[in-house]
Structure 1
Amino acid sequence: MKLCAQLTLALIWGATVSGAAQADISSNLAVGAQYDTSHVYVAPVDVDSFVKSFTATFGGQSTPQVVVNVLPVPSSTSSQLIQTPVGTVSLFGFKTPIPFPFGSERNGYLVKDMDIAIAEAKKYGADVIVHNFPDPIGRDAVIQWPGGINMQLYWHTKSPSYATFQTTPENRVYLSEVRADAFIKAFTGFSAGTVVADEKHLNGGVVGEPSKTIRRVKIESAFGKMVVFVTDGHLPYPYGRETTGYEVSDLSSTLSKAKDSGAELLVEPKDEPGRKSAMVSFPGGYVAEIHQQVAAK
């Protein structure tokens, strides 16, 4: 394990890993964007209706439901993976109270080496709020980035093999101007990501504030896509409640499927720069942004 050896020697001898070696370590943390799962917690009574609505909207299917303890403390939840061509959901229906801080993590990133991933996250400014622990199929940890953004890192004992997405979903992050740059620097360092757009004077209509100007930063890495919204926090519902944006080829058709399967349309389709976007709430209360790319006029 070349990467592990580089990091281990640096830790033992107090050496500085070279810039090239450090970039190599960071770029090799991710397994692939199709292993980025949005974490969704719903009441047990809503689990089946959520699965039905989500798959009817986006296609795909769910793995068999199991009831297990997936946490490092006593608990019980139904657990299943919903895989669609435009995004994957880890669905939990807890039958016991949810121990803190679980439920606040927005997504899970599959990493190739848990020890290296945690060391890298800490190096770039993340706090480890749940130390790594075993689950039925691997190991997990929960980290927190500047600005209070919680994410799970996970590793599987047996490497999974998922089909690549037809379109890669967006991890949608809302931050204040005080912490945005710290978060962006930390996350791009950890993920070896690239800022592909930094729109400093964007019309706030994209987050329900058309009379204001906001900043929007787009990041891409081997973990997938991320969009960072920098706002004053005066967000009308449901903006800020969504953690994931799903790209589809036909927004109108997708929204019809969503409504027909029990989802609620929260924000009517509207034109934004480069896309047409809407917001829906699936059974159980999971809020999602759905968009279709459009050609620039």
Structure 2
Amino acid sequence: MRALHSAFRLGTVAILTFGVSGSLAETRSVKAAPTVAVGPQYDTTHVYVAPENVDAFVKAFLGTFGGTTTKQVVVTVTPTPSSTSSQLLQTPVGTVSLFGFKTPVPYPFGAERTGYLVTDLDRAIVSAKSAGADVLVALFPDPIGSDAVIQWPGGIDMQLYWHTTKPSYVAFQTIPENRVYVSSVRVNDFLRGFLTFSHGKIVSDDPHAPGIEIGRPGDAFRRVRVESLFGKLTVFVTDGHLPYPYGRELTGYEVSSLSDTLAKAASLGVSILVQPYSSSGRTAAIVEFPGGYVAEIHEINR
């Protein structure tokens, strides 16, 4: 498949038609709506842990990556009755919205992988729908703004949110990657829709990425890397034959020294599920934090 990012220009968006093999059959540009993204530092990974694991997770996550947390509050963050502790963990390499539900979690919450801050939630929902997303949870108020949950082709759930008071967060030192696993049947629909919505660009599309990156050394798979004002997103196109924990990790965090980071993590009770390996210019490992949150951590080999 040819690189698609050449079709993305200021004020335009590419409409993509894919052949049955996944190759780009046609590209044409149309006038795009203004972007609703704010910046990568406002996009959070949603982490749900049992209430008794909240403090251990906070200690391990901030101890591993540095950073701070907001004061923990107990609130209702769903449109139907529920109760959860809630706090925002901000680190130089990524942000987490942490929930410790004290009541059963209402459907479909818990399946959304990320929260994306938008400039206008009504417009963002219209834009997502026109790009092919479903709206699983219609707009609803929360204690500091409003939210909605959307789903992209391939079953990828994301939350969109807007704050009543405009937030101001420090930019990341390194931008984390949202790691998405999609089937070959739905990947082109997902890419078409997400690129349209995010005003993003494909920075690489490798149809023969090393299988070690999904726990299958000797095999190959398609890996697509996307960048936009929402941040980085990596798409893993697989047949679903994935050994644990591949497919469970939501986010990949870039650090300056993987060995130092893993040493700190291990001292804080973080389990190393996949030992460090090198592939495609990075050395990476997969870890599990107290409470069950699985993440990839990597160092770029320069």
Please say whether Structure 1 and Structure 2 have the same fold, judged by a TM-score greater than 0.5: yes
Superposed CA offset, 1:112-141 (max 9, x none): 000110000000000000001000000000
Q: Which residue of 1 aligns with 2:161?
A: 154
Residue in 1 that maps onto 2:300:
293
* Gap runs ≥5 in structure 2: 1-28
Alpha-carbon distance in structure 1 between the residues aligned to 2:294 and 2:288: 4
1:255 to 255, 258, 262: 262
Whole-angstrom distance in 2 between the partners of 1:71 and 1:202: 39
Q: Does 1:51 align with 2:62?
A: no
Matches within 5 A, 1:166-205: 166-205=173-212
Aligned with residue 38 of structure 1, among 16, 37, 45: 45
**What's the CA shift string for 1:125-159, capped at 9, x where partnerless?**
00000001000000000000000000000000010
Q: TM-score, normalised by structure 1?
A: 0.91
Separation of aligned partners in 2, 1:91 and 1:33? 17
Question: Does residue 69 in structure 1 map to residue 80 in structure 2?
Answer: no
Structure 1 equivalent of residue 30 of structure 2: 19
CA-CA distance at 1:212 after TM superposition? 1.4
Q: Give the SS at the match of 1:214.
A: strand
Aligned residue for 1:132? 139
For residues 224 and 249 of structure 1, the distance between their equivalents in structure 2, rounded to whole angstroms, comes to 19
**Residue identity in the other structure for 2:94:** G
Name the one with the larger helix percent. 1
Q: How does 1:102-121 map to 2 (within 5 A)?
A: 102-121=109-128
**1:211 Cα deviation from its structure 2 partner:** 2.4
Supply the AA of the counterpart residue of 1:126: A
Aligned-residue RMSD, C-alpha: 0.9
Give the superposition deviation at 1:202. Answer: 1.2
Partners of 1:67 and 1:280 in 2: CA distance: 28
Partners of 1:250 and 1:157 lie apart in 2 by 38
- State how far apart, in whole Å, the 1-side matches of 2:69 and 2:263 are: 21
Measure, in 2, the Cα distance between the counterparts of 1:205 and 1:56: 29
Residue 98 (structure 1) aligns with: 105
What SS does the corresponding residue of 2:208 show, helix, strand or coil?
strand
Matched, 1:267 2:278: no
Aligned residue for 2:228? 221
Residue 88 (structure 1) shift:
0.1
Q: CA deviation at 1:210?
A: 1.1
Q: Is 1:88 the equivalent of 2:95?
A: yes
Q: Which moved more, 1:166-175 or 1:210-219?
A: 210-219
| Distance in 2 between residues matched to 1:78 and 1:264, nearest whole Å | 24
SS in 1 for 2:123: helix
3-state DSSP class of the match of 1:37?
A: strand
In 1: Cα distance, 2:151 partner to 2:229 partner? 19
Deviation at 1:271, TM superposition (A): 0.5
- Structure 1 stretches lacking a partner, 5+ long: 1-17
Amino acid at match of 2:208: H
Give the count of matched residue pairs: 274
Instruction: Say whether the 8 Å CA contact 2:200–2:229 is kept in structure 1.
Output: yes
